[in-house]
């Protein structure tokens, strides 16, 4: 297992429609690289996240009330495969976000789904030990599955990552994290997508111009909160 270094980044989110998506995608193809993990046919990949919350539903309510510093814990997989399973903590710190990630084996993931978190300690990874502490003291437990398809573009300068997320679905927590059945409830209206832009210190001016951000209304979008509301 390898833990990724925590790095504070900017994150901008917008609701867009299908027409805006097609226009932006065509522009980005000329200045950004498609994410290497995308399917060559569909240009996208599937993400499934199992989110955790504590006994007080702190992750949900802190987002609702706009608490400036907060955390969300989740298990994330790609294309319904167990080849990459990440335990992640996403941190919101004012206008910045950070993500910490530790890879899990399938056996460790299954143990967490069975509410067996004894393997989390002792560990040389602080995230595992902090997750254990949350599970012991705050009764952190799985609460909702969040499903969607992502098309992602990369621009190296500024560590820019631009993503289009579509077909957002929500599902009540189920131990069947790897089942091919999609989460059951569609969340977004037909034709609506979520545009996300992440970058380190500065978004390059020509990328900002391509995205035409000055003409768009930024939203405080949380896929986790949207899906919890539909439970």
Mean pLDDT of 108-136: 94
Q: What is the pLDDT of residue 67?
A: 81
How far is the CA of 24 from the CAs of 51, 105, 207, in angstroms?
A: 30, 37, 11
Query: For residue 6, what pLDDT is reported?
Result: 57
Residue 214: per-residue pLDDT: 72
Predicted pLDDT of residue 217 = 79
Q: Cα(71)–Cα(8) distance, rounded to whole angstroms?
A: 13
Q: Round to the nearest angstrom and report the end-to-end CA distance of the chain.
A: 33
For 7-122, where are the E strands, in sequence order? 9-17, 33-34, 45-53, 69-78, 81-93, 96-103
Q: CA-CA distance, 205 to 194, in Å (whole number)?
A: 22
The more confidently predicted of residues 4 and 214 is 214
Decide if 144 contacts 23 (C-beta within 8 A).
no
Structural domains present in the chain:
9-229 (3.20.100.30)
pLDDT at residue 106 tops 60: yes
pLDDT (tens digit per residue) in 1-35:
444 445 789 999 999 999 999 999 999 999 999 99
Global confidence as pTM: 0.92
> What local confidence, expressed as pLDDT, does residue 64 receive?
82
Task: Return the higher-pLDDT residue of 94 and 9.
Answer: 9
Distance CA(7)–CA(125), nearest Å, equals 16
Structure tokens that stand for 18 in this block: 């299908």
pLDDT of 227: 93
Q: Check pLDDT > 80 for residue 113.
A: yes
Q: How far is CA 58 from the centre of its chain?
A: 18
Q: Is the pLDDT of residue 231 over 80?
A: no
Tell me what the pLDDT averaged over the chain comes to.
Answer: 91
pLDDT for the residue 195: 97
User: Does 220 score more than 90 pLDDT?
Assistant: no
What does each C-alpha distance from 208 to 67, 94, 203 come to in angstroms? 28, 22, 7
Q: Which residue has the tokens 């997750």?
A: 131
How many whole angstroms separate alpha carbon 57 and alpha carbon 195? Answer: 27
Mean pLDDT of 55-68: 86
Is 186 within 8 Å of 149 (Cβ atoms)? no
Cα gap 120→71, rounded to integer Å: 18
What are the tens digits of pLDDT across the range 152-200? 999 999 999 999 999 999 988 877 899 887 678 999 999 999 999 999 9
> What's the whole-number mean pLDDT along residues 137-162?
95
How many CA atoms does the CB half-sphere of 218 hold within 13 Å? 12
The distance of Cα 35 from the centroid of its chain, to the nearest Å, equals 15
- Residue 97: its pLDDT value, please? 92
């Amino acid at each position: 297992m390898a833990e990724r270094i925590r790095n504070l980044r900017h994150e901008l989110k917008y609701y867009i429609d299908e027409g805006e998506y097609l226009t932006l995608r065509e522009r980005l193809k000329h200045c950004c690289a498609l994410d290497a993990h995308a399917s060559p046919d569909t240009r996208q990949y599937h993400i499934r996240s199992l989110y955790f919350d504590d006994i007080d539903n702190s992750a949900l309510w802190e987002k609702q009330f706009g608490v400036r510093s907060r955390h969300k814990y989740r298990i994330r997989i790609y294309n319904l495969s167990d080849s990459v399973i990440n335990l992640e903590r996403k941190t919101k710190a004012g206008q910045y976000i950070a993500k910490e990630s530790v890879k899990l084996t399938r056996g460790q993931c299954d143990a967490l789904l069975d509410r067996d978190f004894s393997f989390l300690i002792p560990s040389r990874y602080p995230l595992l030990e902090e997750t254990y502490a949350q599970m012991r003291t705050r009764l952190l437990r799985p609460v909702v599955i969040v499903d969607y398809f992502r098309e992602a573009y990369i621009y190296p300068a500024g560590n820019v990552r631009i993503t289009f997320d579509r077909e957002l679905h929500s599902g009540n927590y189920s131990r069947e994290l790897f089942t091919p059945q999609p989460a059951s409830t569609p969340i977004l209206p037909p034709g609506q997508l979520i545009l996300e832009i992440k970058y380190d210190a500065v978004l390059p001016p020509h990328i900002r111009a391509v995205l035409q951000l000055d003409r768009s209304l930024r939203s405080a979008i949380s896929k986790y909160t949207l899906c919890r509301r539909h439970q």
